[in-house]
Structure 1
Amino acid sequence: MSDPLSQAISLLSPRAPFSKVVEAAGPWRIRREEVGKAYYCLIFTGKARLEVEEEPPVDLYQGDFVLVPVAQSFSMSSIDPGAPAGLESRPVIMPDGRALIGPEDVPATVQALVGYCSFGAPDAELLVSLLPAMAVARGVQRLGALARLVRDEARAERPACDVVLEHLLQVLFIEALRSVTDTGEMPGLMRGLADERLAQPLRAIHAEPYRAWNIAELACSAGLSRSAFFARFNDVMGMAPMEYLQSWRMTLAKHMLRSRKHSIAQVAMKVGYGSTSAFSSAFSRRVGVSPAQYIRGG
C-alpha cells in the first residue's frame, strides 16, 4: 500500500533551502519571522531553547533535531546563562559562512545547524495541516547525517543540485516525523497513523483514492462501528472521513493537472469520478476554477 506520510511530503515539494552553521556564546536570543517556511535545527553541541508561536518552549540538547513545518514567528535563546528579557542578538556572518552570536571573544558553547525551506505545492496549506506543528527527535544519528548532507549539497552548487536537495529534504522530513514518538494532541496525519484503529483505513484511502469508499467499509477496516469510527476519525484527523477523502482526491487531482501528464478525463478516473463532468463540477466547487482553467493557471 502507498504510504500516506511519504505521499504528503512528496507532494509538498520542499525546495530552495537556506542552511547555516550557527555558533553562540554567553547570553543570546535570536528572533525570526519566517511566515510560510519550514524551519529545522540540529544541535551539534550545547543546548538552546526554542519558542515557537502558540507552542510551549522546548529545550534542545546535543544530538536533538527539531522540525517546524510552518514557522510563523519563533525565537532561539541560551539556557545557561539564560537570556535576559528583551535581549535580541545580531548574528555576525563570518567569511566561511558561519553565523556567530554573542561576544566574539568568548568560546562558543552552542553549535547548531539551522535551515529553512519553502514548499513548491500550491496547496501546501492543506498538506502542512496534516503534520504536527512541531516535531522533536532526540539523539537520532540518521537525522544528523541527513541534515549535514542538505547543508553540504546546498553549498556545493553542483549539477542537478535542486533535484538532489528536493529529494534529500523529503527524506529529512520523513525521517524527522517518523522519529517522533509523541504525536501530541493536535489532529493530523501523524496522529492518525499512530492510531491502531485509523492507520489501516488511512492507508487504504491513500492506496486506492479512486475507490468508491463509504463509511461502512472504512469503519469495518478499522474494526469499529460506523458511529464510533466517524467520531474517532473526526477527533484524530480534525475532519470527517469523507471530507478527508475529498480533500486528498483534490490534492492529487491538482498535482496531476499541474504536471500536464494526464488528460482531465484520466485525472477524473484516477481520483474516483465516474465522468469528466462530475469531476469538473466537484473540482470547480472545491477549488474555485474549472480543471481546464486550473491547467491554464487561473
Structure 2
Amino acid sequence: MHVKPEVAHFLRQLRMSGVFYCNTTARGDWGLQMPVDPQCLSFHVVTEGSCWLISDGMPKLQLQEGDVALVQLGREHMLAANPDRTVAPRVDQLPQRYLSENYSIVNVGCDGLFTRLLCGMLSFDAPDVHNIVQSLPPVVSASGMNLNNDSSVVKLVGLLADELSEDRLGGEAVAVRLADIIVVQIIREWLSEESSFEPGLIAGLADPAIGRVLHAIHDEPEKPWAIADMARLSAMSRTSFIERFREVVGVAPAAYVTNWRMEVAKTRLIETNEPIAVVGSSVSYSSESAFSKAFARTVGISPSAYRQTAREQSR
C-alpha cells in the first residue's frame, strides 16, 4: 500500500473518539435508521449474513458477510434486510442492553434470515483529519476495493466476528478497538487506491507543490501567510500558484488560510479554557476584537457563543 507522504502525515494524526457502538443481531424483515451527527462518521461491519445500506441520492448498496462501509459525516441512512424498505425505527431509540456508556447490544426480529453487525459513530479530534474525512465519498465500501484474503481489513473483520460471536470477558472493549482500526485501514486503503480526487484537502495534499503549502499552513496557523510566501514555498509564480491552488483545493489560498485558522480556533475553544484573546493570538490575530469579527464572519457566531454552545451540547 502506498500513500503519498503529505497524506500519510495527516493519517498519523488520526485520533478518533467513539460516540456510539451497537452490536446488532437482526432476523427477518428488519430495518434500522441510523442516528445522524454532522460531526461523526458512521461505520458498519457485517460479520454474519447480509443487509442493504439505503440512503437518498445514492444507489442501494448490499453488504455481505465481511463487508465494511463508512458513511460520510451527517448523512442520513438506514440498514435493512429488504432493499425496498423506506422507513425504519431509529436504532438508538430501541430497547437495548448497555455494556458500557457507549456500547450496546440490540436484537431485532425473531424469525427469518440471521444478520450480525457492529455499527458505530466516530468523531475526529484533529480538525485537519476531520477535513480529510469530509473529502471522502458519501459511502466508502470495502466490497468496492481490491481486497484479498491477506488484507489487514479482511483479517481484522475476522477477528471482530470472533469477538461478536461469543460472550467473552471484555469483548466489547476488544470489539471497539478492532472497529476503530478497521475504519483507519479502510481510509488508508481508499486513499492508496484512488488516482484522482475531487477538489479539496485530499487533492491538495496529493499535489506535491500545493501539498507543501498546506502542510506548512497546518503546522503554523499563527504565521502571517502572504500570497507571496505561499507561492515561494510552492516554487511557482504568484499567478500560477493562485490558479493552481484554487483548481486543486477548490477555494482561494487566502480563504483557505482563514478557514483553517477558524478550525484550529474552534478546537482550542472547546478543548481549553484559554481566554478568547489567547485563542485568537494562536491563529495570527493581534487583538481579541479582530479575531472575534473574523470568527463571527466565518463561523456565524462569536467565539464565546461557540464555546458555550459546544460545551452545552457535549454534556
Q: TM-score w.r.t. structure 2 length?
A: 0.64
In the TM superposition, what is the alpha-carbon distance from 1:173 to its structure 2 partner? 4.7
Q: Which moved more, 1:226-235 or 1:34-43?
A: 226-235
Which stretches in structure 1 are left out of the alignment for 5+ residues?
Answer: none
Q: Secondary structure at the match of 2:72?
A: strand
In the TM superposition, what is the alpha-carbon distance from 1:271 to its structure 2 partner? 0.8
Counterpart residue type for residue 206 of structure 2: A
Tell me what 1:70 maps to: 73
Identity of aligned residues (%): 27
Counterpart residue type for residue 40 of structure 1: F
Tell me what 2:245 maps to: 233
In 2 relative to 1, CA 237–63 (structure 1 residues): closer, same or farther, beyond 3 Å?
farther
Tell me what 2:313 maps to: none
Tell me what 1:141 maps to: 152
Q: Secondary structure at the match of 2:251?
A: coil
- CA deviation digits over 1:160-214, x for unaligned, max 9? x8xxx7x988766544322213387544333333334432222111111111223
Tell me what 2:200 maps to: 188
Q: Which moved more, 1:167-176 or 1:129-138?
A: 167-176
Q: TM-score w.r.t. structure 1 length?
A: 0.67
In 2 relative to 1, CA 284–113 (structure 1 residues): closer, same or farther, beyond 3 Å?
closer
Q: Secondary structure at the match of 1:40?
A: strand
Give me the CA root mean square deviation: 4.7
Is 1:271–2:283 an aligned residue pair?
yes
Tell me what 1:104 maps to: 111
In the TM superposition, what is the alpha-carbon distance from 1:41 to its structure 2 partner? 0.9
Q: How does 1:163-182 map to 2 (within 5 A)?
A: 173-180=183-190, 181-182=193-194
In the TM superposition, what is the alpha-carbon distance from 1:65 to its structure 2 partner? 1.9
- Cα pair 2:47 2:160 within 8 Å, conserved: no
- Cα pair 2:46 2:67 within 8 Å, conserved: yes
In 2 relative to 1, CA 228–275 (structure 1 residues): closer, same or farther, beyond 3 Å?
same
- The 2-side partners of 1:51 and 1:182 are apart by 24
Q: Secondary structure at the match of 1:73?
A: coil
Is 1:245–2:257 an aligned residue pair?
yes
- The 2-side partners of 1:284 and 1:87 are apart by 40
- Cα pair 2:45 2:69 within 8 Å, conserved: yes
Tell me what 2:44 maps to: 41
- The 2-side partners of 1:56 and 1:121 are apart by 31
- The 2-side partners of 1:156 and 1:33 are apart by 27
Pick the aligned partner of 1:262 from 270, 274, 284.
Answer: 274
Q: Secondary structure at the match of 1:97?
A: strand
Counterpart residue type for residue 30 of structure 1: G
Counterpart residue type for residue 177 of structure 1: I
- The count of residues paired between Structure 1 and Structure 2 equals 277
- CA deviation digits over 1:98-150, x for unaligned, max 9? 5355x7255x3x5432223568999x99786444433334545358749949x
